[in-house]
């Protein structure tokens, strides 16, 4: 596909740009260009065709099923986009006096109230821009708490071996040593090994429940008590909140601090690199350390206030406000009944898909699962040479996004499926049939799968070279 700079031709113009609303300024001569800028010269048709072609190169939740495990790639209702484009929210500045931003302040305060109800926590900061950023922030709160008590010996964070890679990475970024605890045969935390791991040097535990195997840990209250008894705090990675929202609350499970991924659970398109939002919620005793500023309501008026022992700021101003707005629109539309219903349907869909695939793939952990499950291509690989990667690439030819593969690390040839609640029974049936077809092909024509996808804009990119030696600059060919 051509770049927009290579399209069009000299003198091609379109005039739908808005008129300049700012006063003209005459710059000093030394600041003026001596040559025309190298801008594309294209007309309206060429622009429309360019962006339509570009959109066809990509795959999103509006193209087809996107069962990317751990990512909750559900459909985002378009009406929430409309809410996020309202001028009252888009045409303000965070440095405006609070009296002139009462609507935005009310938005933060209202969503905070609902998120606290969903999580069983006491306070929220909306500053963090993503889940991983929330983990970092939450661990900073844990660190500030221990330091404020003069407890300097707590240098370790416990992380189970099924954890998302961001968990140990965030702990390391906060200067903690990571202690890995293996899972038991059911996929949960091994209590005996956890008891051995905790001690006077434990700052805390990071856990997602349900975990990345899609398993709800039935010992969760015992797990958080073991950590608390050792003097540590419990961090809940809320990326899997979609499975339990409105039904079970991390605050009730014994967690002290957590993040939510508004872009996963609460309706913001994601996967393209942002903007996202990973608000952190905490129990009362951690409030004094929260970053940024919080909205406070006094006599019907909102104002912003900082905490006495704040850890500082983890981003500019109040985070990504429009992601918060989409989340508020989403929570208000679903309501007290819709939120748990979405979670139940997510769990139902995952179980339906799991059972559908059980005949053709290994499913190492017995169900029922929560919102996602991990299958394995171990047997297929042994018998045909076709690996999880090949099956995933084959799915692209069936107009589906592949699942997450080779994660979690504790399952060989892992394929982690999360169909989400927004897929219909018919669409899951189609996906299961397509995957069964791919598995059958593995036995008949493995070579074809080794070279899949055959109908995508690109085949198999060299991901290692792309990561090690990225070419991020495009050379425009000079005309002769
Ligand atoms: C997605 C995810 C994260 C990280 O969230 P980002 O918003 O991508 O930074 C952390 N933990 C789990 C389990 C996740 O699925």
Q: How much of the chain exceeds pLDDT 90, in percent?
A: 89
Residue 479 lies in a domain: no
Residue 68 lies in a domain: no
The region, left, alpha or beta by phi > 0 then psi within -120 to 50, assigned to residue 207 is beta
Q: Give how far Cα 283 sits from Cα of 48, 236, 256, 257, Å.
A: 51, 12, 5, 6
321 and 174 in one domain?
A: yes
- The mean pLDDT value for 381-395 works out to 98
Q: Ligand 1 atom 6: the closest Cα is on which residue?
A: 131
228 and 165 in one domain?
A: yes
- The mean pLDDT value for 368-388 works out to 98
- Please say which residue of 305, 333, 361 terminates a domain: 333
Residue 480 lies in a domain: no
Residue 63 lies in a domain: no
- Cβ–Cβ under 8 Å, residues 281 and 119: yes
104 and 236 in one domain?
A: yes
Distance between CA 164 and CA 132 in Å, rounded?
Answer: 10
pLDDT digits (tens, 9 = 90+) for 304-350: 999 999 999 999 999 999 999 999 999 999 999 999 999 999 999 99
Average pLDDT value for the chain: 95
107 and 49 in one domain?
A: no
pTM of the model: 0.93
296 and 367 in one domain?
A: no
106 and 91 in one domain?
A: yes
375 and 265 in one domain?
A: no
Amino acid 22: pLDDT: 87
- The tally of CA atoms less than 13 A away on the side-chain side of residue 369 is 30
Least confident of 70-74, 108-112, 363-367, 401-405: 363-367
Sheet of 404-405: strand order equals 373-376, 414-417, 404-405
Q: Is the pLDDT of residue 356 over 70?
A: yes
| pLDDT band at 478; cut points 50, 70, 90 | low
| pLDDT band at 125; cut points 50, 70, 90 | very high
- The mean pLDDT value for 293-299 works out to 94
Q: Which of 69, 71, 162, 166 to mutate to test the pocket of ligand 1 (most atoms within 8 A of CB)?
A: 166
- Straight-line distance from the first to the last Cα atom of the chain, in angstroms, rounded to the nearest whole number: 22
| pLDDT band at 291; cut points 50, 70, 90 | very high
Amino acid 473: pLDDT: 86
Structure letter (DSSP) for residue 107:
H
Distance between CA 143 and CA 176 in Å, rounded?
Answer: 9
CB-based contacts of 34, cutoff 8 Å, min separation 6 = none
Amino acid 476: pLDDT: 66
- Cβ–Cβ under 8 Å, residues 374 and 414: yes
Amino acid 479: pLDDT: 57
306 and 235 in one domain?
A: yes
- Cβ–Cβ under 8 Å, residues 59 and 67: no
pLDDT digits (tens, 9 = 90+) for 137-193: 999 999 999 999 999 999 999 999 999 999 999 999 999 999 999 999 999 999 999
- Cβ–Cβ under 8 Å, residues 244 and 340: no
Alpha helices for 244-314 (secondary structure H): 250-253, 262-265
279 and 164 in one domain?
A: yes
- Cβ–Cβ under 8 Å, residues 439 and 375: no
The CATH number of whichever domain residue 272 belongs to comes to: 3.40.640.10
Residue 62 lies in a domain: no
For helices 166-173 and 131-148, angle between their N-to-C axes, nearest 10 degrees: 40
- Cβ–Cβ under 8 Å, residues 124 and 112: yes
Residue 304 burial (CB count, 10 A): 16
Our count of domains for the chain comes to: 3
Q: Which of 163, 244, 264 to mutate to test the pocket of ligand 1 (most atoms within 8 A of CB)?
A: 264
- Distance in Å, CA 363 to ligand 1 centroid: 23
Amino acid 477: pLDDT: 66
Of 244, 265, 261, the C-alpha closest to 76 is 265
Query: Is the alpha carbon torsion for 150, 153, 159, 164 positive or negative?
Result: positive
250 and 102 in one domain?
A: yes
276 and 207 in one domain?
A: yes
Ligand 1 nearest atom to the CA of residue 132, by list position: 9
Distance between CA 448 and CA 79 in Å, rounded?
Answer: 42
- Distance in Å, CA 479 to ligand 1 centroid: 46
Q: Is the pLDDT of residue 480 over 80?
A: no
Q: Is the pLDDT of residue 37 over 80?
A: yes
With a 6 Å cutoff on the Cβ, whether 268 touches ligand 1 is no
pLDDT digits (tens, 9 = 90+) for 72-92: 999 999 999 999 999 999 999
Distance between CA 155 and CA 178 in Å, rounded?
Answer: 9
- Please say which residue of 288, 309, 333 terminates a domain: 333
Q: Which domain holds residue 16?
A: 4-57
123 and 37 in one domain?
A: no
């Amino acid at each position: 596909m051509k770049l927009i700079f290579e399209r069009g031709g000299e003198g091609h113009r379109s005039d739908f740009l808005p008129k300049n609303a700012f006063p003209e300024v005459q710059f000093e001569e030394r600041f003026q260009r001596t040559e025309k800028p190298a801008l594309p010269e294209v007309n309206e048709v060429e622009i429309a065709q360019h962006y339509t072609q570009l959109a066809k190169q990509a795959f999103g939740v509006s193209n087809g099923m996107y069962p990317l495990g751990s990512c909750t790639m559900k459909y985002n209702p378009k009406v929430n986009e409309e809410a996020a484009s309202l001028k009252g929210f888009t045409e303000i500045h965070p440095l405006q006096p609070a009296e002139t931003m009462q609507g935005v302040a009310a938005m933060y305060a209202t969503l905070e109230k609902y998120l606290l109800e969903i999580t069983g926590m006491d306070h929220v900061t909306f500053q963090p821009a993503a889940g991983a950023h929330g983990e970092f922030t939450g661990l900073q709160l844990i660190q500030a708490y221990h330091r404020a008590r003069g407890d300097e010996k707590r240098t370790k964070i416990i992380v189970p071996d099924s954890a998302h890679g961001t968990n140990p990475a965030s702990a390391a970024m906060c200067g903690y040593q990571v202690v890995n605890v293996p899972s038991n045969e059911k996929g949960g935390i091994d209590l005996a090994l956890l008891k051995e791991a905790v001690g006077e040097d434990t700052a805390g535990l990071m856990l997602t429940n349900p975990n990345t195997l899609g398993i709800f840990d039935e010992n969760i209250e015992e797990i958080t008590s073991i950590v608390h008894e050792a003097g540590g705090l419990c961090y809940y990675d809320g990326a899997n909140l979609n499975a339990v929202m409105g039904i079970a609350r991390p605050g009730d499970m014994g967690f002290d601090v957590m993040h939510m991924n508004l872009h996963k659970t609460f309706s913001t398109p994601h996967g393209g690199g942002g903007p996202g939002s990973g608000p952190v919620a905490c129990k009362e005793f951690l409030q004094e350390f929260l970053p940024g500023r919080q909205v406070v309501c006094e006599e019907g008026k909102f104002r912003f206030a900082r905490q006495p022992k704040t850890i500082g700021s983890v981003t500019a101003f109040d985070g990504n406000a429009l992601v918060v707005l989409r989340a508020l629109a989403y929570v208000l539309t679903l309501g007290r009944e819709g939120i748990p219903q979405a979670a139940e349907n997510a769990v139902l869909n995952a179980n339906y898909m799991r059972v559908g695939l059980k005949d053709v793939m290994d499913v190492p952990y017995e169900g029922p699962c929560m919102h996602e499950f991990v299958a394995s291509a171990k047997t297929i690989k042994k018998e045909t040479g076709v690996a999880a990667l090949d099956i995933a690439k084959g799915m692209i030819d069936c107009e589906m996004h592949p699942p997450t593969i080779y994660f979690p690390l504790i399952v060989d040839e892992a394929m982690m499926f999360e169909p989400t609640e927004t897929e219909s029974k018919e669409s899951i049936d189609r996906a299961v049939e397509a995957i069964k077809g791919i598995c059958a092909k593995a036995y008949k024509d493995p070579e074809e799968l080794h070279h899949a996808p055959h109908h995508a804009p690109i085949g198999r990119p060299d991901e290692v070279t792309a990561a090690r030696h990225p070419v991020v600059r495009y050379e425009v060919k000079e005309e002769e």
